[in-house]
Amino acid sequence: MRSITRAALIVISLLAGAGSSRSEDLSYFTGSVWGVSLHLPTTGKADPDDRPHCTLGTQTWPNRGLNIVYVLTSVDYIEPWLHVYSENWELPIGKKTDVNLITIAGPLGFELSAESATSLTGSTDPKVVGKEKSFNLEVALSYMLDSRRTGISTRIKFAGNEPEWYIPPMGQLETYQVNAKLNRCIADLRAKAADFFRRDSGGKHGDRTSPFRQ
């Protein structure tokens, strides 16, 4: 099983802009509520913790927000993560707390870790949170990104004294654009998999093995 802590650090380092001088960050769309971007490390030269990923992130506030991060972890697998952050936090690194997303699929609770003083992260992979919760989150996102539906908002509730966050619904045009750009971003991410991983082993190009004694 993948190391949760290591993966969380990957997400944090990427979203914090680590290694930006040797990586490429592409903005696919920036709306008033949500935006979509793609992060690509320099092939073969990036830090091993620098993973290609797409981010669906809130644009509602300048200093806090929710990111849903799709991290390319092997040649054929993308792992979804939640990343909740606020510049006003001073979190106890390593501690865990419950965060609830109030969605059209009902309340979805996730245990997130403080991997930095300002960020909480956690995988939403079905192997980590269970198939039902992972599926329900996907359903909630599919409804939110369906331009035929309107008025779908999301709230974030915290276990501590952080006030509840309200993410407003998108308009029909923004919903269409975010959905289209996220699909394109993930397709582009999959297309880049062979540049970062070997299909036979799932490891990075620098992780080749040999059956011969050296």
- DSSP state letters, 116-128: SSSEEEEE--HHH
Spatial distance between the Cα atoms of 173 and 124, rounded to a whole number of angstroms:
28
pLDDT at 69: 97
Task: Sort strands 64-74 and 53-58 into parallel, antiparallel or unpaired.
Answer: antiparallel
Helix (H) or strand (E) holding 175: helix 172-191
CB atoms within 10 A of CB 83: 22
pTM of the model: 0.82
Spatial distance between the Cα atoms of 136 and 105, rounded to a whole number of angstroms:
6
Give the residue, 195 or 54, on which the prediction is more confident: 54
Task: List pLDDT tens digits, range 77-109.
Answer: 999 999 999 999 999 999 999 999 999 989 999
